[in-house]
Each structure stands twice: as C-alpha cells, then as structure tokens.
C-alpha cells in the first residue's frame, strides 16, 4: 500500500530504490506516528471533520496499534512503503471507511516530520538523563580519588602534578557543556510542525494550537514553509550536539586506553571487563574503550553528512530528506548504548598508586618549585633560570610539598559547585 497510490504500478527496481530501508527504520518512529495521529484525529473532530463516534473508533484502532508497538509485534511488511501507510492500512482494515479519514488535512511529509520531531525530542531527553548519570558517576569517582596523585602531561611530556580527582571531575564538567548543546537541540525540535502538510499548509480550518498542546510541544513552527525547512536543520543541530558529547567521550576513552597501558599503568579494570590475545597470554585489552572511541568518532562525522545532504536544497520538500533518518536514528541508539557501557565500565576502574619519586616523574614539580622561589622574593624569570639550570646540570631535587589552593585546582576541586552547574 502506498499513500500516493493512483492505481498505477511502479517499476519494482524503482520502488526498491526509493523505499530503501524505510520499513526497518520506521519501526523506531512508529509509536510517534501513533501519538501524532491521535492528536490529529482529535483535532479533526474538534473542527467538525470527524464525528464523536468516528473519533472514538479511530482512537480505539490507534490504541491497538500502539499496543502492538509496545509488545514488539508491530511489523511493516514488504507490501507497505513505510510506517504511515502501514498504520493507515490497519485502521482501514479494522474500521472501514472511518480508517480512510485519518489522512484528511495532512500529508505524509508532515507525518514523518512530526513523528521524527517527537522521536528526537524524547531521545534527546533520554541522552541528557544518561549523560547526567555518567556525570554523577564521575563526580563520585573524583571525590573518592581526590587525593590520588596523577602526573599531568602537555605534548605527552611529563608536565605538572595532577590528580585522579582533577581528571575525573574535568570530564564531568566538560559534559555540562555538551548538555548545553543538547538543550539547544531540544529547544530546536520542541516546535510542532504538524499542519504544514506538503509544505504549504491546508485549506481545511485545522487547529494547530490544539495539536501543539495535545502532543506537548512547547510551541508551533508557525510558518508552514519554515516547518518543512526544519527538516535537515533539526538533524544538523542534533548531530552537532551528539557530536560534541561523543568528542568528550572519545577523548576520555583515549585517556583510559593510554593510562591502562604498561608504559603508564595508572589504572586497570577487572579481568571480566577486558579481552585477551589469541597468542599473548599477558594481554588485558581495553576493547570496550577502543570501541567507544571508534563509535564516538564515527558519530562526530554525522554532522558533515547532514550538512552535505541538505545544504544546497531549495525550500520545499525533497526526497533527499529520506536519507537523514537512518544514520540519525542509528546515532541516537549508539549514543545511548555508549553512555550506558561507559558508565558501567568506568565505575569499576581500579586506580593505582603513582610513585611521584620515580625518576620518570622527577621534573613533575619544577613549576611548583619555581613558584616557591618567587614567593620567597625572587623574580619569576630569575627563579625559572635557577631551576632550569639545576635541571640542565643534574642537581635538581624536587620538593613535592606545595599545595594548589585556588578554585578548581588539585586541592580545591569545587565538586559541589560543578554539580550545581548541571542543567536541570
């Protein structure tokens, strides 16, 4: 069944090419099409297109479909082009002529648009919640290991003293920046596009304010052309926010892989969280974090894909938009899984003691020792040259006793203030 069927058969090759993976992908947005269809049916009854009895029948039919979706028994068969044609077919099969009325005053274009907006809105909320869970885990680890010294690096060279508390809470606070972008994306998609029809509205006296409230959108996308133009723009905005989050997790995963290696040896994980080698019995490979890194890097490329598909399209609907769904939905599903596995794994990190008296870290405290001389009255340049000379002639002996007391430093992490910053 095709919503645009006019009784003309289409070439099978053309049909296969144009439908693509819609049947499989649309399962993810099926429940949102039902939500939108319920709101649309109620609105049609409100403006007199449907009778009260017809509305009751349609809502009952949609409820049955919703139950199938919840139970995992809803399937889009090969005879259907997408989820929208499947749902209309089921309503017509069950309700007869009443089922055929559900498509009144709407187009498949705004059907898929509103279903996607609802999907994006809910899943951005889920991603934000999972990010908060990881954020809280990291703050907890920061507090637990706040007194554990960790060498700090610049250019991958030993630089200055750091701590596991500083490391864990750094990534926690950076996650807040990612949530700011998630919130911006959420605000972008929290605008009801339903009623834009094929992109130019409808001659029916539809009540768009009603459907906006019914679907719990914060506002309308008022201009019907703007509503259609939001397709692509929403995806680019979401891809940017997911990409930012994935950048943070990818960098964190890289740190984990680095710090697990024997050359660093700062952290480890229980054997059951690592994998081995087929020929090297000593190996404990950080496969989970390597895959997190790879998956996150792949998702960061999504924004470029969204831009290239949509950046030179004129206003109005184009079939190119179909290509936005598959990787966008896949990215959401991957990000949710990544956040879950990252949180599960990092909670089990085994933090090791680092011997700062090891010759590897001999120069970790040179800056602190320069600062001590400055406090004692020397100029910074004079103190720098003195410590530098000791390093060069091999007479430098580190003093590891200095404390960093300013806001956000090793010995003043401000974890409570970081926690308070997380957006509600």
For 195-214, the DSSP string reads T-TTTT--SS---HHHHHHH
Measured distance CA(413)–CA(138) in Å, rounded: 13
Q: Could you read off the pLDDT of 22-70 as tens digits, one per residue? A: 677 888 999 999 999 999 999 999 999 999 999 999 999 999 999 999 9
pLDDT for 82 equals 84
pLDDT for 310 equals 93
Question: Which two tokens mark 27?
Answer: 């399962």
- Decide: helix, strand or coil at residue 408: coil
Taking each continuous run of H as one helix and of E as one strand, the counts in the chain are: 16, 6
Residue 390 has pLDDT above 90, yes or no: yes
pLDDT for 1 equals 46
For residues 320-349, give the mean pLDDT.
Answer: 94
User: Scanning the structure block, which residue is given the tokens 């010995």?
Assistant: 411
Contact of 85 with 22, CB cutoff 8 Å: no
Measured distance CA(217)–CA(191) in Å, rounded: 6
For residues 137-156, give the mean pLDDT.
Answer: 96
Alpha helix positions (H), 145-196? 164-189
Residue 19 has pLDDT above 80, yes or no: no
The neighbouring-strand residues paired with 161 are 151
- pLDDT band (50, 70, 90) for residue 3: very low
Measured distance CA(159)–CA(152) in Å, rounded: 5
Question: Which two tokens mark 80?
Answer: 């259907």
C-alpha 325, offset from chain centre: 15
Q: What is the pTM of this model?
A: 0.92
Measured distance CA(199)–CA(229) in Å, rounded: 8
Question: Which two tokens mark 349?
Answer: 């990190």
DSSP one-letter code for 352: P
Measured distance CA(30)–CA(37) in Å, rounded: 11
Residue 424 has pLDDT above 90, yes or no: no
User: Scanning the structure block, which residue is given the tokens 């991603």?
Assistant: 127
- CA nearest 38: which of 15, 52, 56? 56
Q: Could you read off the pLDDT of 165-192 as tens digits, one per residue? A: 999 999 999 999 999 999 999 999 999 9
Measured distance CA(407)–CA(325) in Å, rounded: 45
Q: How far is CA 4 from CA 89, 90, 167, 365, in A?
A: 13, 17, 57, 73
Residue 6 has pLDDT above 50, yes or no: no
- For the chain, which domains are there? 12-104 (1.10.275.10), 121-192+230-351 (1.20.200.10)
Q: How far is CA 282 from CA 197, 276, 350, 353, in A?
A: 62, 8, 18, 21
Percent of the chain with pLDDT over 70: 93
- pLDDT band (50, 70, 90) for residue 276: low
Alpha helix positions (H), 301-364? 302-310, 322-346
Residue 117 has pLDDT above 60, yes or no: yes
Average pLDDT of the chain is: 92
Name residues whose C-beta falls within 8 Å of residue 167's C-beta, 6 or more positions apart in sequence: 142, 150, 255
Residue 274 has pLDDT above 80, yes or no: no
Other C-beta atoms closer than 10 Å to the C-beta of 404 total 16
pLDDT for 275 equals 72
Least confident piece of the model among 7-16, 71-80, 143-152, 234-243: 7-16
- CA nearest 3: which of 102, 77, 96? 102
pLDDT for 423 equals 94
pLDDT for 10 equals 53
For residues 327-348, give the mean pLDDT.
Answer: 96
Question: Which two tokens mark 165?
Answer: 């508390």
Terminal-to-terminal C-alpha distance of the chain: 45
């Amino acid at each position: 069944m095709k919503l645009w069927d006019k009784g003309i058969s289409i070439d099978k090759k053309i049909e296969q090419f144009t439908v693509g993976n819609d049947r499989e992908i649309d399962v993810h947005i099926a429940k949102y099409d039902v939500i939108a269809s319920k709101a649309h049916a109620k609105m049609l009854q409100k403006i007199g297109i449907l009778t009260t009895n017809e509305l009751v029948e349609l809502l009952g039919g949609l409820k049955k479909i919703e139950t199938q979706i919840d139970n995992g028994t809803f399937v889009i068969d090969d005879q259907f082009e997408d989820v929208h044609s499947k749902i209309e077919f089921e309503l017509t099969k069950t309700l007869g002529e009443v089922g055929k009325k559900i498509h009144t005053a709407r187009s498949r274009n705004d059907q898929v648009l509103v279903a996607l907006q609802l999907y994006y809105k809910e899943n951005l909320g889920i991603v934000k919640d999972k990010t908060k869970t990881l954020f809280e885990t990291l703050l907890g680890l920061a507090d637990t290991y706040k007194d554990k010294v960790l060498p700090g690096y610049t250019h991958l060279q030993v630089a200055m003293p750091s701590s596991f508390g500083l490391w864990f809470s750094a990534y926690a606070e950076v996650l807040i920046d990612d949530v700011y972008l998630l919130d911006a994306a959420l605000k972008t998609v929290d605008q009801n596009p339903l009623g834009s029809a094929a992109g130019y509205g409808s001659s029916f006296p539809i009540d768009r304010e009603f459907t906006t409230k019914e679907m719990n959108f914060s506002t309308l996308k008022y201009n019907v052309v703007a509503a259609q133009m939001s397709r692509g723009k929403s995806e680019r905005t979401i891809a940017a926010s997911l990409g930012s989050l994935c950048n943070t997790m990818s960098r964190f995963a890289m740190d984990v892989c680095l710090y697990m290696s024997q050359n660093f040896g700062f952290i480890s994980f229980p054997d059951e969280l690592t994998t081995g080698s087929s020929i090297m019995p000593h190996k404990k490979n950080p496969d989970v974090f390597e895959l997190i890194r790879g998956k996150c890097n792949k998702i960061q490329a999504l924004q470029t894909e969204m831009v290239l598909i949509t950046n030179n399209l004129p206003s109005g609907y184009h079939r190119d938009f179909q290509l936005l769904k598959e990787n966008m939905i896949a990215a959401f599903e991957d990000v949710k899984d990544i956040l879950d596995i990252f949180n599960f794994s990092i909670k089990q990190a085994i933090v090791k003691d680092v011997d700062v008296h090891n010759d590897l870290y001999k120069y970790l405290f040179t800056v602190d020792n320069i600062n001590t001389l400055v406090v004692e009255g020397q100029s910074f340049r004079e103190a720098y040259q003195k410590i530098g000379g000791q390093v060069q002639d091999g007479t430098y002996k580190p003093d590891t006793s200095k404390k960093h007391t300013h806001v956000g430093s090793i010995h003043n992490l401000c974890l409570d203030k970081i926690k308070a910053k997380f957006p509600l």
